[in-house]
Copies of this chain bind each other. A is one copy, B any other.
């Protein structure tokens, strides 16, 4: 494990393209756990590593996929809990994969519906418009 140079919160904000306030919000929620630097006196500065950047990217990704921060936190903690058991890790990953596949199926259905509608209009709106009910999503 190569340790990249730690960074302060403003640099981390640039690295992740997230507002500082949002980062602090995620820390308060337990989604990010930066180390504390020796600097900063009574309120030590938080130091972020490269893996925190990855974690932040993962959070944003999971968010776009419809997970709430609470769910993301739960998933991440479950992941950490079984970090030293490959079987458990794979199990958690498989669950996430299954959920994403469901979402993908719904998305595909929606795309089929919209494409069907475009075709139907291009065909001059013949009888039998594509019906959303016919697409499993």
What chain B residues lie within 8 Å of A54 (beta carbons)? 131-133
Q: Within the oligomer, what is the number of copies of this chain?
A: 2
Across the interface, name the chain B residue whose C-beta is closest to A108: B104
A65 to chain B, nearest CB (A): 6
Chain B CB within 8 A of A103 CB: yes
Q: Which residues of A contact B (CB under 8 A)?
A: 54, 57-58, 61, 64-66, 86, 89-90, 93-94, 96-97, 100-101, 103-104, 106-108, 110-111, 114-115, 117-118, 121-122, 125, 131-133, 137
A61 to chain B, nearest CB (A): 6
Q: Indicate if the CB atoms of B121 and A65 lie closer than 8 Å.
A: no
A64 to chain B, nearest CB (A): 6
Residue from B64, B97, B101, B118 within 8 A of A103 (CB atoms): B64
Can you offer 24 A-B residue contacts whose CB atoms are under 8 A? A54-B131, A54-B132, A54-B133, A57-B133, A61-B110, A61-B137, A64-B66, A64-B103, A65-B106, A86-B121, A86-B122, A90-B121, A90-B122, A93-B114, A93-B117, A93-B118, A96-B114, A97-B114, A97-B115, A100-B107, A100-B110, A100-B111, A100-B114, A104-B104
Across the interface, name the chain B residue whose C-beta is closest to A58: B132
